[in-house]
Chains A and B, each alone.
Chain A
Amino acid sequence: MRNSNEIIDDIANKEYEFGFTTDIEMDIAPVGLNEDTIRFISAKKQEPEWLLEWRLKGFAAFKKMKFPNWQHFKMPELDLQKLSYYAAPKEKKKLNSLDEVDPELLATFDKLGISLKEQKVLAGVAVDVVFDSVSVATTYRAKLEELGIIFCSFGEAVKHHPELVKKYLGTVVPHSDNIFAALNAAVFSDGSFVYIPKGVRSPMELSTYFRINAENTGQFERTLIIADESAYVSYLEGCTAPKRDENQLHAAVVELVALDHGEIKYSTVQNWYPGDKDGNGGIFNFVTKRGICKGNSSKISWTQVETGSAITWKYPSVILQGDNSEGEFYSVAVTRNKQIADTGTKIYHLGKNTRSRIISKGISAGHSDNTYRGLVQVGPRAANARNYTQCDSLLIGDRCGAHTFPYIESRNSTATVEHEATTSKIGEDQIFYLNQRGIETEKAVALIVNGYAKEVLNQLPMEFAVEAQKLLSITLEGSVG
């Protein structure tokens, strides 16, 4: 007879339901990282000379840098020479419409619950899909174009809107920002580009879906979003990857620019393959995300629900340059088994009357380690700057870890910076109470966790909030036993 531990193990192992691979003909760069690789990628993408130069500058910076050592985990040894830096579904000819996309690829996205056929796409959401290294489809483009909104793959933006790309690329995350950002600058393959013109509110959510499929590849996408004066956009990214025994590297860069009265809301539901229960395989998620509120009264808001990846290392940041600008960071990070998350935010108050709000909810189960790391910096010019930080940790079981590293640096005496932190455990009393009302333990945990994360989940667009709730429940299945 199977004992309850076996049943729990089964549940624990089956939960990553996106772990399949797609058999598709791929165009893959030779393994290894050198200038030739970079020239290969640039040539494949028929890029202008200035972009190749920029990549090479990134590579030069990368060569001089070392992997960071300040994070709260041991950096795994990454052999970047063993990776391939470009993988694309082989294009037999130029695609004119979605009907010509490889049916195998369409089937993959159907399986993931993302239909690329526009009539079936969730009303009000335009999707750009990145498969391994390249963007394969962008929906609703024509409708957005009527409003002057540009929503396309990064590669297309380089071709059709080089002036915009040239003006903003690397202005928020420079090519030499950190080793992963430098690596991305050198080898980035594709990603999404969004430009919302003056005074336009995007009528729908814009969304990018990232999928790593090929073996031994890294994924290095780059996203650039610009909200011009009084423009507004809500953008969402989602991601999954197949189950593989070896680790795969994901080193993305996201840059956001908000001009006067512009607003960008950026939401992430990250569900990369987290590895198995013993910590084998899984995605190394080393991502640099940063936004700048360049204009007065502009606003940038990050919301993230992080459930996947073997290691998550990301600190979506906001530079509050414009006076009266506002930055927000809402995060739920769940770790279980042997997952590691070292995540948080950095907020730089430069302008007057700038405001920021940080709500971080960590949930750790199993043998995992969950760290919040946050910096709030107030510059000498930032009169009356205000920050509120709330940082909560929830522990499930007694073998996991939760850590909080807040850094506060204020150089203006009129600033108000508040930090609150709590650590709690899901109590046996809470579970028993729910059991006594007829609710089984798995469901009880899901209910408690969703309640705990509610403040953050409420920030997500409606459809995705429901998805995220489900994801949290599935992720924690089998973690109490």
Chain B
Amino acid sequence: MLTIKNLHAEVDGKKILKGINLEIKRGEMHAIMGPNGSGKSSLSSVLAGRENYTVTEGEVIFEGKNLLDLSPENRAREGIFLAFQYPVEIPGVSNLNFLKTALNEIRTYHGLAPIEAKEFLKLTKEKQQLVDFNANLMNRSLNEGFSGGEKKRNEVFQLAMLDPKLAILDETDSGLDIDALRIVAAGVNKLRSADKAFMVITHYQRLLDYIVPDFVHVLYDGRIVKTGNKELALELEEKGYDWLKEEVHQKESV
């Protein structure tokens, strides 16, 4: 589904990604871990097409298309969804109106007619129950005055509504208490399916107790320095990142 080859990117002339290689297939759950400043969130920004990131080398193929040639909105319409670490507030635009607009833009791109009002409400209700999203937040302005937890839950709700092929969760667990974390994780687990892939970016192993990954990748200094299964996450939890950093530096000095 997604193939990243030797991806290099920079922000304001500063090199952030220094040769990422990654292959994600349908149905897989990939966790990206790593210390602060290792490039985790940058990777999600580059994939989603954030403007201030410049790709200097490498390629990204998504479902047979060159992802880097597509505008951010077309990447979204092709099926890439980014659950933001810091969801923005848009005053005066209701959650429902926003979702309907987004859904219809995606449908139009795929040559489908706009969704019927009745069908939309049905879908909303269904997904809202699926991910346990508070109905009272539906008619409120998008994320305005939402608590940190409500914002993150809204990201998962949107993910359920827009039904992408690849969902990237950028530190969705940050700022959540343990109850909210469980609800968010339960929502994500319900959305897992054989034809959908996930890339979960997180600092902590804690989230991976609830969302069990097929692969764990450790990002350090703009590169994936180690790949393993969920045991790797536990090892990191126990030992921290320093041993990995040393390993990298030793290799470099040889």
- Which chain A residues have a beta carbon within 8 Å of chain B's beta carbons? 427-430, 432-441, 443, 447-448, 450-455
Select from chain A the residue with minimum beta-carbon distance to B168.
Answer: A436
- In whole Å, how far is A265's beta carbon from the nearest beta carbon of chain B? 22
Which of A435, A436, A447 is in CB contact (< 8 Å) with B90? Answer: A447
Q: A436-B82, A438-B109 in contact; A430/B101 too (CB < 8 A)?
A: no
User: Which of B72-80, B171-179, B240-248 lines the interface with chain A?
Assistant: B72-80
Q: A433-B88, A435-B76, A440-B73 in contact; A447/B98 too (CB < 8 A)?
A: yes
Flag whether B12 is at the interface (Cβ < 8 A).
no
Which of A429, A436, A452 is in CB contact (< 8 Å) with B72? Answer: A436
Select from chain B the residue with minimum beta-carbon distance to A392.
Answer: B91
Q: Cβ of A432 and Cβ of B92 under 8 Å apart?
A: no
Which of B49, B81, B158 is in CB contact (< 8 Å) with A435? Answer: B49
A-B contact pairs, 13 of them (CB 8 A): A428-B51, A432-B50, A433-B88, A436-B73, A436-B75, A437-B76, A438-B102, A439-B73, A439-B101, A440-B105, A448-B90, A451-B91, A451-B92
Chain A contacts for B81, CB-based, 8 A? 436
Flag whether B43 is at the interface (Cβ < 8 A).
no
Q: A435-B72, A438-B109, A439-B73 in contact; A447/B93 too (CB < 8 A)?
A: yes
A427, A433, A437, A454 — most chain B CB neighbours (10 Å): A437
Cα(A430)–Cα(B91), bound, Å: 11
Select from chain B the residue with minimum beta-carbon distance to A447.
Answer: B93
- In whole Å, how far is B17's beta carbon from the nearest beta carbon of chain A? 18
Q: A428-B51, A447-B98, A448-B93 in contact; A439/B105 too (CB < 8 A)?
A: yes
Select from chain A the residue with minimum beta-carbon distance to B143.
Answer: A433
A427, A451, A452, A453 — most chain B CB neighbours (10 Å): A451
Chain A contacts for B54, CB-based, 8 A? none
Chain B contacts for A439, CB-based, 8 A? 73, 101-102, 105
Which of A427, A437, A451, A453 is in CB contact (< 8 Å) with B162? Answer: A437
Residues 100-120 (chain B) with a chain A CB within 8 angstroms: 101-103, 105-106, 109
Q: Cβ of B77 and Cβ of A438 under 8 Å apart?
A: yes
Q: Cβ of B87 and Cβ of A433 under 8 Å apart?
A: yes
Known: A448-B93, A450-B92. 9 other contacts (CB 8 A): A432-B50, A432-B72, A436-B72, A436-B73, A436-B84, A438-B102, A439-B105, A447-B101, A452-B92
Flag whether B141 is at the interface (Cβ < 8 A).
yes
- In whole Å, how far is A436's beta carbon from the nearest beta carbon of chain B? 5
Chain B contacts for A432, CB-based, 8 A? 48, 50-51, 72
- Which chain B residues have a beta carbon within 8 Å of chain A's beta carbons? 48-51, 71-73, 75-77, 81-82, 84, 87-88, 90-93, 97-98, 101-103, 105-106, 109, 141-142, 158, 162
Q: Cβ of A443 and Cβ of B92 under 8 Å apart?
A: no
Q: Cβ of B92 and Cβ of A453 under 8 Å apart?
A: yes
Chain A contacts for B72, CB-based, 8 A? 432, 435-436
Q: Cβ of A436 and Cβ of B93 under 8 Å apart?
A: no
Chain B contacts for A443, CB-based, 8 A? 101, 105
Cα(A438)–Cα(B49), bound, Å: 12
- In whole Å, how far is A16's beta carbon from the nearest beta carbon of chain B? 26
Q: Cβ of A436 and Cβ of B48 under 8 Å apart?
A: yes
Chain B contacts for A454, CB-based, 8 A? 92
Cα(A404)–Cα(B20), bound, Å: 50
Chain B contacts for A453, CB-based, 8 A? 92
Q: Cβ of A429 and Cβ of B88 under 8 Å apart?
A: yes
- In whole Å, how far is B226's beta carbon from the nearest beta carbon of chain A? 29
Q: Cβ of A455 and Cβ of B102 under 8 Å apart?
A: no
Select from chain B the residue with minimum beta-carbon distance to A449.
Answer: B92
Chain A contacts for B76, CB-based, 8 A? 435-438
Q: A436-B72, A438-B106 in contact; A452/B91 too (CB < 8 A)?
A: yes
- In whole Å, how far is A443's beta carbon from the nearest beta carbon of chain B? 7
Cα(A440)–Cα(B162), bound, Å: 16
Chain A contacts for B90, CB-based, 8 A? 430, 433-434, 447-448, 451
Closest 8 pairs between A and B when the two form their complex, measured CB to CB: A451-B92, A451-B93, A435-B72, A454-B92, A437-B102, A438-B76, A438-B105, A438-B106
Cα(A168)–Cα(B77), bound, Å: 61
- In whole Å, how far is B51's beta carbon from the nearest beta carbon of chain A? 7
A429, A436, A441 — most chain B CB neighbours (10 Å): A436
Cα(A427)–Cα(B81), bound, Å: 20
Q: Cβ of A438 and Cβ of B87 under 8 Å apart?
A: no
- In whole Å, how far is A11's beta carbon from the nearest beta carbon of chain B? 17
Chain A contacts for B98, CB-based, 8 A? 434, 437, 447
Q: Cβ of B71 and Cβ of A437 under 8 Å apart?
A: no
Select from chain B the residue with minimum beta-carbon distance to A361.
Answer: B92
Cα(A156)–Cα(B56), bound, Å: 73
Which of A430, A438, A447 is in CB contact (< 8 Å) with B88? Answer: A430
- In whole Å, how far is A130's beta carbon from the nearest beta carbon of chain B? 34
- In whole Å, how far is B135's beta carbon from the nearest beta carbon of chain A? 20
Cα(A53)–Cα(B76), bound, Å: 69
Cα(A429)–Cα(B93), bound, Å: 15
Q: Cβ of A438 and Cβ of B92 under 8 Å apart?
A: no
